[in-house]
Chain A
Amino acid sequence: MADGATELIVETQHLTKIYGNRQIALNDVSLTIEPGSVLGLLGPNGAGKTTFLRLVLGLHRPTAGWAKAFGRTMTPNSADLRRRIGYIPTNPQFPRGMTPITYLDYIARLFGLPADVRKPRLATLIRAVDLLPHSGDPIAHFTPGMTARLAVAASLINEPDLLIWDEPTHGLDIEARRSMLELIKTLAAEKTLILSSHNLTDVDEVCNHAAVLNKGQLIFHGSLQDLKGRIKKNHYELDLDGEQKAITRAVAALRALPDVKQVVLRQRRLDVKLGDDSPNTALLAQLFGILNDQKVTVISVRTVGVQTEQAYLELVEKEESRGFARLYRDAEAA
């Protein structure tokens, strides 16, 4: 486990990767990941997410800057650091002719785990990921869901402190995806996770921090709340119950409020848009007061749209439109 509560799990400074003087994959990325974080690594295709993960793992060597894991610089020979990391690549590949038992035994040996430790662990993991009936079958015949579960087991066999999962829900059906997200939530209680994902709904559900990469540059790094806080849509949707006349009266009263930009009633669903600069708590208090006066019951309240997705898209769009102003990162960007 981590040595101390303050020890940074991952730290990068000016991390830059240029492939063969032809492609700039990562450009001056500096970030820190604290213990207990579940970091969602976001970005469009080719943004440098996988390159970043490979640099953190020591699979690639940085062109400039450095990446530290557990306080020590990661290099291709840092086997002892990688013993504390569990990794799942985007499309995990397995050596030919292996079964889940032989594969997990092989991976455990790669971590240097002695037989009395690795054998019970691999048996427990095979059971945990529901591969017990297929434990002797060749991996080559596995479905994507089974392959993903095996990759999860392989990433946990060394009981790592840090999990790096590159697109863990990629190619999974709904059931397998749900199961994966639940597993991530469980693991998040005791481990630090870095999840690279295209699926912002997944990130929204399981992550507490986010890092957004665009064209190799880090354009945001902070808590998910900070990312969402960057957009203030003040757009709400309420499902109501009560007499239709009472609801209509409430709508009329709401429309009379000065800072309410829009009130639309569709049957019993109320769509309310508040002014961007208005303090929403006071306005919402007024809104609920009016509904209470008219004896209208609120069944559900939700913000409109997936906020993380909106925030992400706005960030990327803003970054694209900055032109040469990108040079002055500190003044404008996140």
Chain B
Amino acid sequence: MEAQPPVVTVRFNKFLPYWAVLRTDLRQTVRGWVYRLWVLMTAVAAGGFLVYRVGLHREAGLVQSAAAQCGDLFRLLVVGSMALVVVLAVSAVGAERGTVADSVLSRGISRHQYFLAKLHARLAAVVCTFAGLATLVLLAGYFLFRADAETDLSVAGGLVAVVGVCAVLAAVVSWGVTVGALTNGTVLGITVFWLVLYGAGFLLTLVPESYPSPDRELARLRFVLAGQYNPGLLWDVVIGSGVLCGLAAAVGLVGFARRDV
């Protein structure tokens, strides 16, 4: 007589689907052409800018404050990165809809877990990459313009600038992922988000100077890098971005769970 096979009770790990999507998305993002293009363009632009400024500094003798030069570079990086960061964020959910998302969402994962995993993966990829690149740029600026950096560039100011910009980027990524999850096409989502982002940025330049605008805040980065910043303002930026991120996540969670994929 054959022995009955033992009955094995599988204990499902409820968080494993979240981690699986998070890990896979991080890996896919880093291998994707948009991410590589972003990193490459940032590195080339930063390298070119620094070499040009060093050339001016050493050959032409044009001496400019290190904080001002790094502030200009930071501004260039943020404005340049924004376009590709939007593509990265919106395509997180949007690009998979109807294809890969089918074979993921038809398994044991809820919409909430999927959305959060995608959101967190893109947040981690963008914020960590930008923080890393920005730190490298600041270090390069510090060593290349060492002569006046000792009196000009401030470590605390650099940290504040990186944290502030990363907080703003986090809000942009959160809303980008949400827009991607709620629109029917990736191209449509990217176009809408670009228009909203750049349109709002342009409109804010028209309001009186007493109100903050992205352009004016970026122009002030040189002072922040030199250590002239208001810690309260940094907290306001971080908390404001946190609220925006939370709001985006809530809208995305509710909206995505009610949509067809």
Given the complex of chains A and B, what is the CA–CA distance between A94 and B111 in angstroms? Answer: 19
Chain B 8-48 per-residue mask, 1 if CB under 8 angstroms from chain A, else 0:
10111111110111001001100100000000000000000
Residues of A in contact, count (CB < 8 Å): 33
Chain A 14-38 per-residue mask, 1 if CB under 8 angstroms from chain B, else 0:
0000010000000000000000000
The answer on a CB contact under 8 Å between A114 and B13 is yes
Residue of B whose beta carbon sits closest to that of A154:
B103
The answer on a CB contact under 8 Å between A79 and B113 is yes
Enumerate chain A residues within 8 angstroms of B21, measured Cβ to Cβ.
Answer: 110
Interface: A60 (CB within 8 A) = yes
Determine which of B19, B31, B111 lies in contact with A76 in the assembled complex, contact meaning CB atoms within 8 Å: B111
The answer on a CB contact under 8 Å between B13 and A89 is no
Stretch at the interface among B153-161, B189-197, B253-261: B253-261
- A75 to chain B minimum Cβ distance, whole angstroms, is 8
The answer on a CB contact under 8 Å between B13 and A96 is no
Interface: A263 (CB within 8 A) = no
Question: With A61-B258, A96-B31 in contact, is A79–B13 under 8 Å at CB?
Answer: no
The answer on a CB contact under 8 Å between A109 and B99 is no
Given the complex of chains A and B, what is the CA–CA distance between A61 and B255 in angstroms? Answer: 12
The answer on a CB contact under 8 Å between A158 and B28 is no
- A114 to chain B minimum Cβ distance, whole angstroms, is 6
The answer on a CB contact under 8 Å between A59 and B105 is yes
Interface: A70 (CB within 8 A) = no
Enumerate chain A residues within 8 angstroms of B13, measured Cβ to Cβ.
Answer: 112-114
Enumerate chain B residues within 8 angstroms of A106, measured Cβ to Cβ.
Answer: 20, 24
Question: With A83-B12, A113-B16 in contact, is A95–B100 under 8 Å at CB?
Answer: yes
The answer on a CB contact under 8 Å between B10 and A113 is yes
Given the complex of chains A and B, what is the CA–CA distance between A178 and B218 in angstroms? Answer: 65
Enumerate chain A residues within 8 angstroms of B17, measured Cβ to Cβ.
Answer: 79, 109-112
Enumerate chain B residues within 8 angstroms of A154, measured Cβ to Cβ.
Answer: 103
Determine which of A77, A110, A111 lies in contact with B257 in the assembled complex, contact meaning CB atoms within 8 Å: A77
Interface: A221 (CB within 8 A) = no
Residue of B whose beta carbon sits closest to that of A111:
B108
Interface: A87 (CB within 8 A) = yes
Enumerate chain B residues within 8 angstroms of A113, measured Cβ to Cβ.
Answer: 10, 12-13, 16
Given the complex of chains A and B, what is the CA–CA distance between A97 and B27 in angstroms? Answer: 10
Question: With A59-B261, A61-B260, A109-B20 in contact, is A77–B102 under 8 Å at CB?
Answer: no
Q: Name 20 extra pairs, CB < 8 A, besides A57-B106, A59-B261, A79-B17.
A: A59-B260, A61-B260, A76-B105, A76-B258, A77-B112, A79-B110, A82-B108, A87-B103, A87-B107, A95-B100, A97-B28, A110-B16, A110-B21, A111-B108, A112-B12, A113-B16, A114-B11, A114-B12, A117-B8, A158-B107
Q: List 25 A-B contacts (CB under 8 A).
A: A54-B260, A59-B106, A77-B110, A77-B257, A79-B17, A79-B108, A79-B109, A82-B108, A87-B107, A94-B100, A94-B103, A95-B28, A96-B31, A107-B107, A109-B16, A109-B17, A109-B20, A110-B21, A110-B108, A111-B12, A111-B108, A112-B16, A112-B108, A113-B13, A154-B103
A-B pairs, 10 with minimum CB distance = A109-B20, A112-B12, A110-B107, A83-B108, A111-B108, A77-B110, A87-B106, A79-B110, A60-B260, A93-B99
